[in-house]
Amino acid sequence: MTQNRAAWYFAWALLAPAILYVLVIVAWPLIETFRLSFTDASLRKTTNYVGWRNYLKIFDKDFLEIIIRTFTWTFFSVLLKMVIGTFGAVLLNCAVPGRNLFRLLTMPPWIVPMAIGIFMWGWMYNGQFGMISGLLQRFGLSDGPVVFLAYGTSAYWATIVTDVWIGVPMVTIYFLAAIQSIPRDLYEAAWTDGASRWMRFRRITLPLMMPPMITMSMLSLIATFNSFDIIWILTQGGPSGSTTTMIIDTYQTAIGSKRYGEGAARAVVICIFLSLFCIAYFRMTRKLATAQKA
Amino acid sequence: MARKFFKSSETSIMINRYSWRELIGIYCGIAVFLFFMLAPFIEGFLVSLKPLAQLFSSPYSFWPENGSFEAYRTMWISVPSFGRYIFNSLLISVVSTIIVLILVVPAAYAFARFRFKGMALVLGAFLAVSMFSGAVLLIPLFRLMRTLGLLNTYYAMIVPGAAFLIPSAIWLLRTYMMRIPPELNEAAYMDGASQFYTFRRVILPIARPGIIVVAIMTFIGAYAQQFIFALTFNSKTEYMPLPVGLFAYFGKQEVIWNELMAASFVGIAPAMVIIFFLQRYLVGGLTAGAIKE
């Protein structure tokens, strides 16, 4: 028993620094955000508790629109990441010469400093002189310059494409690992029975990829919901709010106009959504784990 | 079916044989996929070679005419503190990595080896941290930094940034450490070694490859994601890391695109050097994190 008690102390002593750090830098600010959301905190010296006023104030038509926009933006982005990631993983799994190089070449968008990748997309989207607009004009698909970031719809999709671009490498590598962990004899047995390549993909790869796909789409959903850098660098939420997601909106309110209390209330709404995703994620992984054991 | 007559060793060779049509399809698919992943880099590199006058001319031309590496020289002149930005980025990443390792190595070992009540909950809480982005917590952190007088210092960027690198580092290293056989602990205990001695002299040396992978991943993460805290908590040019510093190329009238792209490529270089030399560790590290126990 003495060994156990010593081990208990030791284990918690090992954990203590990390726990303390996260408590101060993440848990305390989280609680403080909740507290601030009930105050009128701003640059002024004094702050007063104002009850639910911030919440009543932010829940208007604009905010509802922002919430819906955040969800559709996130949905399309995650969907595209999953589709392109699956496409990439299946291709990179093919036993063709050069595949190690190809795998390596998918990684740059992920590993390069995010801001730099976004700057490059900023140039690609440049209407007067950028590559996409230039090629569209060259091939006669467009009469004049296409200023992608100047119009609501195109800016919305442009930010999604950039977000997908940054997210795809991780999804691809993860899916590739998942495909490679599928037992080879399944394929060999199917092959022996004369199953075509497409049949093997549909009946073996896809069903067995489902659990990692669900896990990844949940993780991706949470990351995408939090996406800040891309929109901030490309459009800062514009033009006229068409790329303003909840994160951008919170940043503008809190840091931009220094309305901390109101910003905190907006942040709390984000936290509530994130917690829901979090719970859904943990439930799902547990369900998948028990399903696999059975 | 004729396929039934192959031995299983032959099967795995035959199964991967593609007809030339399939091969073309695969390569076309890979080409499209990689084009999407690399187009911004290709275009960015070509832009860095073009003189500004050619950039701002219609119609669009893909290849640089009389391209040169001139922008790679002038970028240091138009933004003199560019070298400082790279240094700041590296410094922030290195210090963040060290902090993360000091916190994560013991914690990952505890999670991998001990099963005490409450630890699963703590692990869950750690993983949940990665789900809240810094943006949500900015307001209290901003006020905290202001009260402590840490705004416009390196600390303001390092301390919060490191917290968000902890979860994935713990997860990765825990997965690695769980593969170290527990018999080692028992043997050390039999020999009368203390818990700390076992950790320090038995576990740490064995875990070194795993710790290296985690260090690399954390460094890359720290180098890649230093935007929001730097943007919000620091306004001093001398402390700016690369992602924020690059805005210096956004001139009053126009963006000096060729120099911005040249600077981007110079800024990418450290990450690329790491990928190139450590790709063996990297792919292993990335997939180890992906496959759970």
Cα–Cα distances in angstroms (integers) from residue A96 to residues A90, A179, A187, A188, B26, in the given order:
12, 16, 17, 18, 8
**Pair of tokens at residue A245:** 């997601």
DSSP string, A104-125: HHT-HHHHS-HHHHHHHHHHHT
Matching residue, tokens 């919060």: B160
Distance from the B33 Cα atom to the nearest Cα atom in chain A, whole angstroms: 6
Domain residue spans in chain B? 2-73, 81-290
Residue A105 confidence (pLDDT): 87
CB of B167 closer than 8 Å to CB of B218: no
**Interatomic CA distance for residues B233 and B150, integer angstroms:** 8
Residue of B52, B58, B113, B131 to mutate, interface with A, max A Cβ within 10 Å:
B131
- Of the pLDDT bands very low, low, confident and very high (cuts 50, 70, 90), residue A83 is very high
Q: Are the Cβ atoms of A91 and B26 closer than 8 angstroms?
A: yes
CB of B84 closer than 8 Å to CB of B238: yes
The region, left, alpha or beta by phi > 0 then psi within -120 to 50, assigned to residue B58 is: beta
Burial B65-89 (b: 16+ CB within 10 A, else e): eebeebbbeebeeebeebebbbebb
Among A212, A210, A245, CA closest to A230: A245
Q: Which of B15, B33, B287 sits opposite A177 (nearest CB)?
A: B287
Chain centroid to CA B161: how far?
13
Length of chain B: 293
CB of A109 closer than 8 Å to CB of A117: yes
Distance from the A242 Cα atom to the nearest Cα atom in chain B, whole angstroms: 20
Residue of A23, A94, A249 to mutate, interface with B, max B Cβ within 10 Å:
A94
Q: List, for residues A222-257, the tens digit of each pLDDT value.
A: 889 988 889 999 988 878 888 899 999 989 888 888
- Determine how many CB atoms are found less than 10 A away from the CB of residue A71: 15
Considering only CB atoms, which chain B residues are within 8 Å of A250? 135-136, 138
Q: Is the pLDDT of residue B3 over 90?
A: no
Residue B6 confidence (pLDDT): 55
* Bridge partners for A49 per DSSP: A39
Q: Which of B163, B224, B272 sits opposite A22 (nearest CB)?
A: B163
> What is residue B250's three-state secondary structure?
strand
**Interatomic CA distance for residues A166 and A240, integer angstroms:** 25
Q: Quote the mean pLDDT of chain A.
A: 86
Question: Which domains does chain A carry?
Answer: 59-293 (1.10.3720.10)
Neighbouring C-alpha atoms within 13 Å toward the C-beta of A247:
25
Residue A163 confidence (pLDDT): 94
Q: At residue A31, what is the residue type?
A: I
Q: List, for residues B213-246, the tens digit of each pLDDT value.
A: 888 888 888 888 888 888 888 888 888 898 888 8
Q: Are the Cβ atoms of B59 and A21 closer than 8 angstroms?
A: no
**Pair of tokens at residue B92:** 């922030």
Chains A, B: CB pairs < 8 Å: 298
Global pTM value: 0.86
The beta strand positions in chain B, using DSSP E, are: none
Residue A113 confidence (pLDDT): 87
Cα–Cα distances in angstroms (integers) from residue A62 to residues A65, A68, B265, in the given order:
5, 10, 40
Q: Are the Cβ atoms of B139 and A33 closer than 8 angstroms?
A: yes
Q: Is the peptide bond before B59 cis (omega within 30 degrees of 0)?
A: yes
Neighbouring C-alpha atoms within 13 Å toward the C-beta of A101:
6
Among B274, B215, B106, CA closest to A113: B274
Q: Are the Cβ atoms of B110 and A15 closer than 8 angstroms?
A: yes
**Interatomic CA distance for residues B44 and A116, integer angstroms:** 10
**Interatomic CA distance for residues B134 and B21, integer angstroms:** 49
Distance from the A152 Cα atom to the nearest Cα atom in chain B, whole angstroms: 22
**Interatomic CA distance for residues A121 and A230, integer angstroms:** 10
Q: What is the DSSP letter of B203?
A: I
Distance from the B197 Cα atom to the nearest Cα atom in chain A, whole angstroms: 11
Chain centroid to CA A256: how far?
23
CA angle, B247 as apex, B244 and B252 as ends, to 5°? 150
Residue of A2, A3, A14 to mutate, interface with B, max B Cβ within 10 Å:
A14
Q: Which of B231, B246, B291 sits opposite A119 (nearest CB)?
A: B246
Q: Are the Cβ atoms of B267 and A12 closer than 8 angstroms?
A: no
Residue B235 confidence (pLDDT): 84
Write down the ipTM of this complex.
Answer: 0.86
Q: Is the pLDDT of residue A135 over 80?
A: no
Q: Are the Cβ atoms of B135 and A226 closer than 8 angstroms?
A: yes
DSSP string, A156-203: HHHHHHHHHHHHHHHHHHHHHHHHHTS-HHHHHHHHHTT--HHHHIII
Q: Are the Cβ atoms of B60 and A129 closer than 8 angstroms?
A: yes
CB of A260 closer than 8 Å to CB of A254: yes
- Determine how many CB atoms are found less than 10 A away from the CB of residue A43: 7
Considering only CB atoms, which chain B residues are within 8 Å of A254? 138-139, 142
Q: List, for residues A30-57, the tens digit of each pLDDT value.
A: 898 989 888 888 877 777 788 888 888 8
Considering only CB atoms, which chain B residues are within 8 Å of A229? 225, 227-228, 243
The whole-number average pLDDT for the span B90-119 is 91
- Of the pLDDT bands very low, low, confident and very high (cuts 50, 70, 90), residue B106 is very high
Q: Is the pLDDT of residue A87 over 80?
A: yes
> What is residue B91's three-state secondary structure?
helix
**Interatomic CA distance for residues B84 and B237, integer angstroms:** 9
DSSP string, A59-93: -SHHHHHHHHHHHHHHHHHHHHHHHHHHHHHHHHH
CB of A43 closer than 8 Å to CB of A258: yes
**Interatomic CA distance for residues B196 and B240, integer angstroms:** 40
Give, for A269, the enclosing helix (H) or strand (E): helix A260-293
DSSP string, A196-253: -HHHHIIIIIHHHHHHHHHHHHHHHHHHHHT--HHHHHHTTT-STTTT--HHHHHHII
CATH superfamily name and code, B81-290:
MetI-like (1.10.3720.10)
> What is residue A13's three-state secondary structure?
helix
The whole-number average pLDDT for the span B132-140 is 83
**Interatomic CA distance for residues B86 and B270, integer angstroms:** 9
**Interatomic CA distance for residues B32 and B24, integer angstroms:** 12
Residue A42 confidence (pLDDT): 80
Q: Are the Cβ atoms of B232 and A121 closer than 8 angstroms?
A: no
Distance from the A107 Cα atom to the nearest Cα atom in chain B, whole angstroms: 8
CA-based nearest residue in chain A for residue B118: A12
